[in-house]
Amino acid sequence: MLKLLADTKQPLSVYIFKVSVLAVSIGLSVALLINFIFPNAESPDFELGIIFIIGAVIFGPITESLLMIPIIYLIRKMTSNIIYTSLISALVWGGLHSLQVPLWGVGVFALFFLLSMAYQYWDNHSRKYALFVVTAIHALNNATVVIISAFES
């Protein structure tokens, strides 16, 4: 997995696709496990409408990606280790998502770990590419959640 995340020599589209598939696979597995262990646990309640979809697939990923930069910057002042930085970043984002629905934070931890890793690897080449990659992966992840939610309704 680390080799996949560190390989910034491949085309952006291929990298985004691979990491998106990994993120969705892990995220769905965690969600199924949480649902199995806590069958009556509260889950996020999405009102599927055009405003929600645009927010979830466009504005949310852009905003959270932009907010990730200063968080990673602050964490990197404490450690230069990319894995530790990503773990702490994922804990921050998981905690923030847990404020709305407690177990949601557990579900998004892996996504934000992968996003934090991807951001740091791509930031070594270009902050613009790093921001684009992270936003695209996040948008594809959220689009997958929206599609699955639509089928569950």
Q: pLDDT per residue over 61-118, tens digit each?
A: 999 999 999 999 999 999 999 999 999 999 999 999 989 888 888 889 999 999 999 9
Question: Residue 122: what pLDDT?
Answer: 97
Residue 3 lies in a domain: no
Kindly give the interhelix angle for 82-98 and 104-123, rounded to the nearest 10 degrees.
Answer: 140
Residue 72 lies in a domain: yes
Residue 46 pLDDT more than 80? no
How would you class 18 by CB atoms within 10 Å of its CB: exposed for 0-12, middle for 13-18, buried for 19 or more? Answer: middle
Residue 74 lies in a domain: yes
Residue 4 lies in a domain: no
Question: Residue 153: what pLDDT?
Answer: 64
Residue 26 pLDDT more than 70? yes
How many independent structural domains does the chain possess? 1
- Domain of residue 131, residue span: 10-39+52-152
Residue 45 pLDDT more than 90? no
Half-sphere exposure of 46 (CA within 13 A, CB side): 22
Question: What pTM value is reported for the model?
Answer: 0.94
Question: Residue 150: what pLDDT?
Answer: 85
Question: Residue 151: what pLDDT?
Answer: 84
Residue 46 lies in a domain: no
Residue 120 lies in a domain: yes
Question: Residue 146: what pLDDT?
Answer: 92
Q: Which of 95, 131, 133, 94 is nearest to 113 (CA)?
A: 94
Question: Residue 2: what pLDDT?
Answer: 81
3-state secondary structure of 34: helix
- Three-class SS of 92-135: HHHHHHHCCCCCHHHHHHHHHHHHHHHHHHHHCCCHHHHHHHHH
Question: Residue 35: what pLDDT?
Answer: 87
* CA gap 88, 75 in Å, rounded: 7
Residue 35 lies in a domain: yes
Torsion of CA 3, 131, 73, 109, to 10 degrees: -60
Give me the long-range contacts of 77-85 (CB less than 8 A, separation at least 24).
Answer: 82/117, 82/120, 82/121, 83/2, 83/117, 85/116, 85/120
Residue 2 lies in a domain: no
Mean pLDDT of the chain: 93
